[in-house]
Amino acid sequence: MSTRSYLIDTNIIIALEDHHTVKPAYATFSQQAAKHKVNVFVHEAARDDILRDKNAIRRGISLSKLAKFQVLQKVKGLTKETLEQRFGKLKKHNDLVDATILHALSIGAADFLVTEDHGLHERAQKYSSDLARRVLFVADAAQLLTTTYEPRDVPIRHVAEVSAHTIQISDTFFDSLREGYPDFNQWWHEKCISERRPCWVVYDDDELAGLIVRKDETGTNTDATQKYDKILKISTFKVSPEKRGIKLGELLLKKVLWFAQKNHYDLAYITAYPDQDALIALLEFYGFQKTATKADGELILERAFSNLRIERTSGSSVYEIDRKNYPRFVVDDDVRGFVVPIKEDYHDMLYPDLRDARQPDFFRDAGKEAGPKRAGNTIRKVYLCRSPSNLGSPGSILFFYKGKSEEEPSQALTAVGILEEVAFAQSTKDLMLLTGGRSVYSEVELSDYKASLFSPVKVINYLLVDYIDPPISLDELRSLRIFTGHPPQSIVELKGQKLRSALDRCNFGFDI
């Protein structure tokens, strides 16, 4: 196996090395890295930043913590001007350090960067989606290491719906809410429990890891600025700090977006303080907008929903429009559609929701109070194949066709996605970098692809729109003349009436 390298930010070092109890995600990352001999580096620029600390005692302590890790040296002659050309304006010294670290990642000096600094994540996203996939929160880094080296031990997380009264308010999960809102316990009892408010919960290793509390409102009784008839208020959206990362937050947000769309809400909204920048960034990525600021500084973020057809607008790519209107997407004469055939094993990894419910490992309890639930997964996904066919531009529609399989559904269109981008991997290392934090593949599985210059692997990044319910069977595909012969063995384009028939049959509940 190849040796991966992870560059860790100073905030990760502090969490690992300070005198407080090490949080589980940090401990898992450290253990997995040591167990599998993964190289962990700190950047020389971070050390230089610490040297600027005028407090000699604190400076000495910080440097002693950095000394436990390998140092990744700076690129000689790298100027601020060069970094600004690539990563934008660098107003503060910390911005210069961040850009220097991102530069090291961009040239391949390290495979992944682990940081809880949301500014670093945002700067990477603005630079390129490829780089952003390689900048990980510690929870995602820990999960990626576990997936890479011990794939069979990774639990599939569930989102379960429960009533608020079934959740133990004494759980340490709520400590930060109590600290920020002294009347939290009273609010929970008087509002959530007495009204039996519905909640979505995620448990990880029997610990509460994520929670959403929701409430139905109308325009006559809401804090939202847009006074619609049917409003979904997300009164609590919390991910446990030690479990925090893109995947878990996105898993919960997918539940919100799918629920609001399928149940014909006009608006969903949430309030958040400006320091909740990770949550705000995730919400804005999927179309929420800041509409007001309350007297205490809390922001109101709103997102409208509709079943009407959406059109492309000037100045925005189709993919960007789709992302901000998710799960709705643009369909017009210039948007192309493709069928992507997928084998059973890979289908099960990408879409655990659709795996046969009779198999017991898909019935992991979401918690003591919740019954068995199907597994859940996130919005942003990656699929690998060697199909020679070309795909269209970002925003193209992908229909995933599950081939003949032992378990149902078999030989059917099962899921629809929106293309984000396509890249080509010419080595296992390329595959590892291009799949990034979205990977559901172990290193052994990536190696089995034997990617090379003469036999590259297509890396398809996309957004999962929804599942087709019920799946479109091979017989129905033929009767609708979407397929006129044998099912495809490689990616094929659907044109004209074939594309229209496939879209009409999806029954997503909104006009396309």
Q: Are residues 103 and 34 in the same domain?
A: yes
**Is residue 251 situated within a structural domain?**
yes
pLDDT score recorded for residue 18: 57
The total of other beta-carbon atoms located within 10 Å of residue 347's CB is: 23
Domain boundary, last residue among 106, 125, 153:
153
**Cα 18 from chain centre:** 29
CA torsion 248-305-318-113 (nearest 10°) is -20
Say which amino acid occupies 463.
L
The tally of domains found in the chain comes to: 3
pLDDT score recorded for residue 349: 82
**Is residue 314 situated within a structural domain?**
no
Digit-coded pLDDT (tens) for 17-58? 555 555 677 788 888 888 888 899 999 888 887 888 788 887
CA torsion sign, 80 to 85 to 91 to 96?
negative
Query: Which structural domain, as residue segments, surrounds residue 20?
Result: 5-153
Question: Cβ contacts of residue 495 below 8 Å, gap of 6+?
Answer: 336, 337
Task: Name the DSSP class of 391.
Answer: P
Domain boundary, last residue among 153, 171, 200:
153
**Is residue 71 situated within a structural domain?**
yes
pLDDT score recorded for residue 436: 74
Q: Are residues 351 and 423 in the same domain?
A: yes
The total of other beta-carbon atoms located within 10 Å of residue 295's CB is: 5
Q: Are residues 104 and 185 in the same domain?
A: no
Q: Are residues 22 and 149 in the same domain?
A: yes
Q: Are residues 16 and 138 in the same domain?
A: yes
Long-range contacts of residues 32-36, Cβ cutoff 8 Å, at least 24 apart: 32/142, 32/145, 32/146, 32/149, 32/150, 33/6, 33/145, 35/149, 36/145, 36/148, 36/149
* DSSP 3-state of 242: helix
CA torsion sign, 347 to 253 to 417 to 452?
negative
pLDDT score recorded for residue 199: 95
Could you say which residues of the chain have pLDDT below 70? 1-2, 14-23, 151-157, 241-246, 356-376, 437-439
Q: Are residues 137 and 209 in the same domain?
A: no
**Is residue 510 situated within a structural domain?**
no
Q: Are residues 296 and 408 in the same domain?
A: no
Q: What is the CA radius of gyration of the chain?
A: 24
Q: Is 106 in contact with 82 (CB distance < 8 Å)?
A: no
Q: Are residues 62 and 90 in the same domain?
A: yes
Residue appearing with tokens 């700076």: 74
Domain boundary, last residue among 110, 129, 153:
153
**Is residue 128 situated within a structural domain?**
yes
Q: Are residues 416 and 465 in the same domain?
A: yes
Q: Are residues 79 and 104 in the same domain?
A: yes
Digit-coded pLDDT (tens) for 323-375? 999 999 999 999 999 999 999 888 888 888 787 443 444 333 334 333 323 33
| 231-239 and 207-217 beta bridge pairing | antiparallel
**Is residue 381 situated within a structural domain?**
yes
Indicate the pTM of the whole model. 0.81
SS (H, E, C) 166-188: HCCCCCHHHHHHHHHCCCHHHHH
Q: Are residues 472 and 494 in the same domain?
A: yes
pLDDT score recorded for residue 244: 57
The CATH number of the domain where 123 resides is what?
A: 3.40.50.1010
The CATH number of the domain where 365 resides is what?
A: 2.30.130.30
The CATH number of the domain where 188 resides is what?
A: 3.40.630.30
CA distance 421 to 147: 23
**Is residue 511 situated within a structural domain?**
no
pLDDT score recorded for residue 17: 59
pLDDT score recorded for residue 151: 57
pLDDT score recorded for residue 366: 38
**Is residue 58 situated within a structural domain?**
yes
Q: Are residues 27 and 58 in the same domain?
A: yes
